[in-house]
Chain A
């Protein structure tokens, strides 16, 4: 079991470029999440998917879009990257919305 995997591990973008962060889980979980982590602010929820076919905004959704491709995969897209989106991004999954979340290793993104 790999758990939750994320690609890439590290990415540098220029302002205005787009990219997609990939996340996959092999635990047959129904719910998946994207967080960003910034110094001194803990983790903040960007978007989540309670179940396959549904997505909802979290605390900080502006500038991002998501796709729940299937039960295993949940991607996060930055259409036009901004320096304020420099952060570490974590994907997580859980059996259901109110169950324990399991986290991936993170993607470190730098926007110049």
Chain B
């Protein structure tokens, strides 16, 4: 079955430290992949997306993600985390033949001062 997995339920990092959030996918062909962020009580905001082409994708708020076909991964990174980055992060995928996004279960990021 097609799926997106986020292995880490909760991550805590210090402000200024680097961040990597993991996402693995299971699709027959190269899927469309997305990262969304959700602040408490808010809707989801798109950080970045990968459809094809360059495997390193730049997004908003200083985030980037790298598509690695060999590892079936699409990990989200940020070199220096800010306190305002504390939120829940969702990876999502879409098979090019399907009509809906499949979401991972989310990773909650806590930022320590």
Contact = CB atoms under 8 A, between A and B. Distances in A.
A62 interface: no
Chain A interface helix/strand/loop/mixed = loop
A42 B42 contact: no
Contact of A58 (B9, B45, B94, B100): B100
Contact of A43 (B9, B32, B94, B103): B103
Nearest to A102: B46
B74 interface: no
A42 B46 contact: no
B90 interface: yes
Interface residues of B, number: 21
B111 interface: no
Taking each of A50, A100, A105, which has the highest tally of chain B beta carbons within 10 Å of its own beta carbon?
A: A100
Interface size bucket, A side?
Answer: 20 to 34
Contacts of A45: 100-101
A98 interface: yes
Interface string A1-43: 0001000000000000000000000000000010000001111
Nearest to A58: B100
Contacts of B101: 43, 45, 101
19 contacts: A4-B43, A42-B103, A42-B105, A42-B106, A43-B90, A43-B103, A44-B103, A45-B100, A50-B99, A56-B99, A58-B100, A59-B100, A97-B99, A100-B34, A101-B101, A103-B44, A104-B43, A106-B42, A106-B43
Interface of A: 4, 33, 40-45, 48, 50, 56, 58-59, 90, 92, 97-98, 100-106
Kindly list the 7 A-B residue pairs having the minimum CB-CB distance in the complex, ordered from nearest: A42-B103, A103-B43, A103-B44, A43-B103, A105-B43, A42-B105, A45-B100
